[in-house]
Amino acid sequence: FWAGRTVTPDFHIQGQNVQDYLQGRYFDAVEQVASRVRTLPHVIGFDVLNEPGLGWLGQPLSTWAGPPIPGPALSPLAALAVARGKPTEVPVIPTGTMRLLNAAGRSIWRDGAECPFERAGIYRVEDGELIPLAEQAFQTCGGRALDITEDVFAPFFTEAAARVRRHREDWLLMAEMDPFGTLTGRHFPARMPEQSVNASHWYDLALLLTKTFDPRVSVDPLTGERTEGPAALCERYVRQLGRLKVLASAFPGGAPTLIGEFGIPYDLDNGQAYAAWASGQRDVFGPHTQALELMYEAMDALLLSSTQWNYTAGNRNDLRIGDQWNQEDLSIFSIDQIDDPLAPDAGGRAVAGFARPYAATVQGQLQSMHFSRHSGTFVVEYEADATVHAPTELVLPPSQFPAGVEIVIVGPARRCEDDATPGLARFLASMSGKVRIACHRKAAPNLI
C-alpha cells in the first residue's frame, strides 16, 4: 500500500503495481463517500485514514524494531516465515519468553502462488530456512535512505486532498500520521496541502497498554520517564501534547490542531469498577475521573481542541464485550450504567471527568482557560475584539454547576441576559480589551 513501487516493483495486479492498485481503489472508495456527503453543511472535511500503520517500513529485515505493544514481536523476516508456513519462535513483549507461531505449518499462499517479497530478492529459502538477502529492503528508496515523511506521507496527503476536493473545494484535510512515529518525533511533510488540520492522536500509553492508572507513580513506556504524583503526570501530558501542537506550525500559513482522538479504557484493573457497580456501589469511577481530569487540564493549559474516543451505544460492563471490537472498552457510555433512563447523564461513565466547562466561541483571542472541579471555579481570559460582532459562549455543564453559577466579569464585556439556554452563558464586549470571566459554583440551598 505505501511502498509497493519501491519494495516489490514487479508485483502487479491488473496491470498496475500493487501500490497504485491498492491506493487507487482506496481513494476511489473515499470519493464514493465524498460524493454522497458533499451537500451536507455540517461536513467540514475528511480525516482520510485513521491511525495509518506502516507495516515493516523503516524496519530492518531480520530484527524486530516496532513499537512496544504487548504481544509477539515479529521481525519482518519472522513474519514472512510464518506466512510461508514455517513454525517460528518469537519473543513476547514484555516478558521476553518465546512463543511458537504457526505450529501447524500452514501457508497463506495459494498453491502455485509466489511470495512477492521472495520474488523481489529480499530473501530466499534454503533447506526450509529463510535467508535474508536485502537487510535494508524496507529502509531504502531508490538507493537512498527511506524518508517516511516525504516518501510515504507527502504524496498520500497530496492525493487525499485532491481527491476529496474534487467534490468540495472548501473541505479541510484532517491529517494524521502513524501514532508511534508522531509520538517519537516524526514531523509532517514540508509541503502540506493548504487547509490542512493537525489531527494527531494522543494517549497515555502506560494507562492504555496496562489498563491500570496510578498517578502516584507512572512510567512512560516509550521514554522510560518516571513521574510521581498527579501534578508531575499532568506536566508530562502538557509536554507530550505540546510537541504535537508544535507540528502544525510547519503547515502553510500555520494550522489549527485538533487532537483527533484520546481517551481511557474503563475496564481498568480487570474491570474492578464493574464489579463494584454490580455489587450496588455507584461512586466507582474515581481513577477514571482523575485520569480524564488531568488530560483535560493539560489540553486547557495548551488551549487545545480534542475529540474523545469514544461513545458506543451498545457498550456493556463485560470484559468480553466492551465496545464490541478488539476487546476495547473506552466508551464514555454503557447500557449497564443506566439506573434512571430519564436522568440527563444516564449511562455516563466518569461524567465529572469529561463534562467540563469550556469556551465554545470567543469574541477575540482566547488567552487562558482553567477549571478546578474541586473548587467549582472556571476562569476564562481573552483579548476582546469589538470588531467581531458575535458573543463569547461558555458551556457550563449542569453536572458541574447543579445549583447554578455565579459569574464575575472584569473588563469591557457584559452578559447577554436575554439568553436562557441551560448550561450556556454568552458575553458581548462593546470595546476591545482584556476580559476575565470567573464562573463559580453556587452552593446547594439548605433545605432544612
Tens of pLDDT along 55-102? 999 999 999 987 778 899 999 999 999 999 999 999 998 888 999 999
The model's confidence at residue 223, banded by pLDDT at 50, 70 and 90, is: confident
* Cell 473506552, located at residue: 330
CA atoms within 13 A on the CB side of 232: 12
For residue 259, list its beta bridge partners. 306
pLDDT value at residue 399: 93
Q: How far is residue 114's CA from residue 144's CA, in Å, rounded to a whole number?
A: 27
Task: Using DSSP, state whether 136 is helix, strand or coil.
Answer: coil
Average pLDDT in the chain: 94
Element (H, E) at 391: none
The model's confidence at residue 183, banded by pLDDT at 50, 70 and 90, is: confident
Higher pLDDT, residue 422 or 23: 23
pLDDT value at residue 126: 95
When pLDDT is averaged across residues 225-251 and rounded to a whole number, the result is 94
When pLDDT is averaged across residues 262-273 and rounded to a whole number, the result is 97
At residue 247, what are phi and psi to the nearest 5 degrees? -55, -30
The model's confidence at residue 184, banded by pLDDT at 50, 70 and 90, is: confident
pLDDT value at residue 249: 86
pLDDT value at residue 221: 87
pLDDT value at residue 69: 81
> Is the predicted pLDDT of residue 370 greater than 80, yes or no?
yes
When pLDDT is averaged across residues 371-400 and rounded to a whole number, the result is 96
pLDDT value at residue 222: 85
296: nearest Cα among 251, 353, 244: 353
Maximum separation of any 2 CA atoms in the chain, in Å: 87
Most confident range, picked from 156-165, 215-224, 241-250: 156-165
pLDDT value at residue 161: 97
Long-range Cβ contacts of 124-127 (<8 Å, 24+ apart)? 125/84
The model's confidence at residue 444, banded by pLDDT at 50, 70 and 90, is: confident
Let me know if 443 is exposed, middle or buried by CB neighbors in 10 A (0-12, 13-18, 19+).
exposed
pLDDT value at residue 28: 98
The model's confidence at residue 252, banded by pLDDT at 50, 70 and 90, is: confident
Q: How far is residue 7's CA from residue 152's CA, in Å, rounded to a whole number?
A: 13
Predicted TM-score (pTM) of this structure: 0.92
pLDDT value at residue 447: 57
Question: Which of 176-185, 276-285, 303-312 is predicted least confidently?
Answer: 176-185
Q: How far is residue 343's CA from residue 282's CA, in Å, rounded to a whole number?
A: 15
The model's confidence at residue 446, banded by pLDDT at 50, 70 and 90, is: low
Question: Which of 93-97, 396-400, 416-420 is predicted least confidently?
Answer: 416-420
Q: How far is residue 204's CA from residue 263's CA, in Å, rounded to a whole number?
A: 8
